[in-house]
Amino acid sequence: MRPEIAIPEGLLEPALTVGTVTPGSLDDQVLAFPETLPPRQWYIGIAITLSALFIGLGFIGYTFYKGIGAWGNSSPVFWAFDIINFVFWVGIGHAGTLISAILFLFRKRWRNAIARFAEAMTIFAVICAVIFPLIHVGRPWVAFWLFPYPNQRALWTNFRSPLLWDVFAVNTYFSVSLMFWYLGLIPDIASMRDRTTSKLRKTIYTVLAVGWRGAATHWQHYEKAYLLLAGLATGLVLSVHSVVSFDFATSVVPGWHMTIFPPYFVAGAIFAGFSMVVMVLVVVRETMQLKNLITMRHLDVMNKVILAMSCIMGYSYMMEGFTAWYSMNEYLHHGFMNIISGTYGWAGWLTISCNIFIPQILWFKKARSSYFWMIFVAIAVTIGMWFERFVIIVISLHQDYLPSAWRVYVPTMTDFGILLGTFGIFFTLVLLFARVLPVIATTEVKAILPGAQPSHHGDDHHV
């Protein structure tokens, strides 16, 4: 027996759920959603998101008809909304993997209740992200040329190009996220399979649950696989946005060519991702009556992560200024001055305000526990992080080494339409997911409920 140590009240882990939650009540609460018809707000919501989606599809169709000339991209700003949106959406995805993988390795048990939704958002965000590289190549029907495959032209890809690294990184990220998400879903789908009475649903769930029967011999390998996947995904989540940042950092454009880019991009991705997760979870918590499972503590902890990331972003911005000054390089000076006072100076200050100043109100407990302030911050961060990529890409490109080529970039309606469309795709998928699959990883939450683990086997310190 270990000696009992009296732990002060303040150091004890707060309850993971509110009220009495039993495995049975959890199933009845969470798994019942797919079995009932959605409420009216859901139809209104999906009507709005589907409209956005179709507007976006329309503009993508127009792009296919017309060509890339339908966008505002023009020399020297060859990368604009397409790459901004790509980096933005890949970044949004990072919160999901962070919650599901890194917090799993850190044994943060509270992550069990929100991991499923965050992982789903990862997948949807990456789906939105991959649209952009595909459509911006100009001839999307030969986009598969991005992959090194034996072909009759006897050509291979250039393995020294960070753009090719990006192809591998994003594809790996999507495959791994999907695998992680699906493996986590299997036991939950098995629960749904065994409680549904609808024959059609039963068939679908039976196939999707691959005959999962909860055998101890299976759980043993399953847990091991989950742990390994968490470890692998942790390395991956840090690498993906680093590789995305290489697209910029390995070039010689002033404002891109910086060693701080990989960690700065990863922090920014987690920052934006957590804001999106907070935004969506607040809505889910309220409209789906999940207040007992997604507690204020979850939101509080996530707001703290946002605050911490905001501070890292502030440091990165200062380092960008410091590098520009310390390098004694006139191009870097000019690039930095452009951010704070150029044609797009407003975008620079919008980025700094939204990402650095506004999140500071999360230092107050009141703000961290108020829907108004946390949503306010989350929206500000989402806007700020989108504009951060705008600042990095457009400001750096529109005035680089060759003054005769300078040009002010102006986006077109098509650019905005496609951006709106990706928000439509993302939220449509989120809304569909909320109705057809378990929004909370019931199996994982069951395992951390009080009394879920045998009492003679130590206490519940390992999950």
Distance of alpha carbon 310 from alpha carbon 316, whole angstroms: 10
| Encoded tokens for 88 | 């933005």
Distance of alpha carbon 319 from alpha carbon 397, whole angstroms: 20
Site for another protein (CB under 8 A): which residue of 4, 7, 12, 199? 199
- Residue 424 Cβ, how far from another protein at the closest point, in Å? 22
Site string for another protein, 82-101 (x = CB under 8 A): --------------------
Taking Cα atoms as reference points, which of 114, 97, 447 lies closest to residue 296? 114
Distance of alpha carbon 347 from alpha carbon 311, whole angstroms: 19
SS3 assignment, position 82: helix
What is the four-CA torsion angle of 71, 75, 80, 83, rounded to 10 degrees? 110
Site for another protein (CB under 8 A): which residue of 15, 41, 51, 214? 214
SS3 assignment, position 77: strand
Dihedral sign, Cα of residue 124, residue 125, residue 126, residue 127: positive
* Contact range with another protein by CB under 8 A, out of 201-209, 291-299, 383-391, 420-428: 201-209
According to DSSP, residue 360 is labeled G
Distance of alpha carbon 262 from alpha carbon 271, whole angstroms: 14
| Encoded tokens for 201 | 């649903």
423-452 binders of another protein (CB under 8 A): 443-444, 446-447, 451-452
Site for another protein (CB under 8 A): which residue of 4, 158, 402, 403? 158
Distance of alpha carbon 294 from alpha carbon 283, whole angstroms: 11
372 contributes a contact to another protein by CB under 8 A: no
In the complex with another protein, the residue whose CB is nearer, 82 or 388, is 82
- Residue 445 Cβ, how far from another protein at the closest point, in Å? 9
In the complex with another protein, the residue whose CB is nearer, 39 or 214, is 214
* Contact range with another protein by CB under 8 A, out of 80-88, 202-210, 332-340, 408-416: 202-210
Site for another protein (CB under 8 A): which residue of 44, 225, 340, 408? 225
Site for another protein (CB under 8 A): which residue of 78, 219, 357, 371? 219
* Contact range with another protein by CB under 8 A, out of 41-49, 156-164, 293-301, 349-357: 156-164
212 contributes a contact to another protein by CB under 8 A: yes
Site for another protein (CB under 8 A): which residue of 3, 8, 403, 454? 454
| Encoded tokens for 173 | 């990220």
39 contributes a contact to another protein by CB under 8 A: no
57-76 binders of another protein (CB under 8 A): 64-69
232 contributes a contact to another protein by CB under 8 A: yes
413 contributes a contact to another protein by CB under 8 A: no
Distance of alpha carbon 77 from alpha carbon 54, whole angstroms: 28
* Contact range with another protein by CB under 8 A, out of 10-18, 38-46, 171-179, 400-408: 171-179
In the complex with another protein, the residue whose CB is nearer, 168 or 433, is 168
Q: Is 269 exposed, middle or buried (0-12, 13-18, 19+ CB in 10 A)?
A: buried
Taking residue 109's Cβ as centre, other Cβ atoms within 10 Å add up to 19
What is the four-CA torsion angle of 301, 303, 304, 309, rounded to 10 degrees? 130
For residues 380 and 359, the answer to whether their CB atoms sit within 8 Å is yes
CA angle in degrees (0–180, nearest 5) for 253-259-264: 100
- Residue 123 Cβ, how far from another protein at the closest point, in Å? 14
Distance of alpha carbon 195 from alpha carbon 296, whole angstroms: 30
259 contributes a contact to another protein by CB under 8 A: no
- Residue 155 Cβ, how far from another protein at the closest point, in Å? 7
- Residue 141 Cβ, how far from another protein at the closest point, in Å? 7
- Residue 251 Cβ, how far from another protein at the closest point, in Å? 11
- Residue 392 Cβ, how far from another protein at the closest point, in Å? 20
Distance of alpha carbon 327 from alpha carbon 319, whole angstroms: 11
In the complex with another protein, the residue whose CB is nearer, 38 or 140, is 140
Size of the site for another protein (CB under 8 A): 82
- Residue 262 Cβ, how far from another protein at the closest point, in Å? 11
* Contact range with another protein by CB under 8 A, out of 203-211, 289-297, 320-328, 405-413: 203-211
152 contributes a contact to another protein by CB under 8 A: no
For residues 430 and 2, the answer to whether their CB atoms sit within 8 Å is no
What is the four-CA torsion angle of 196, 200, 206, 208, rounded to 10 degrees? -110
318 contributes a contact to another protein by CB under 8 A: no
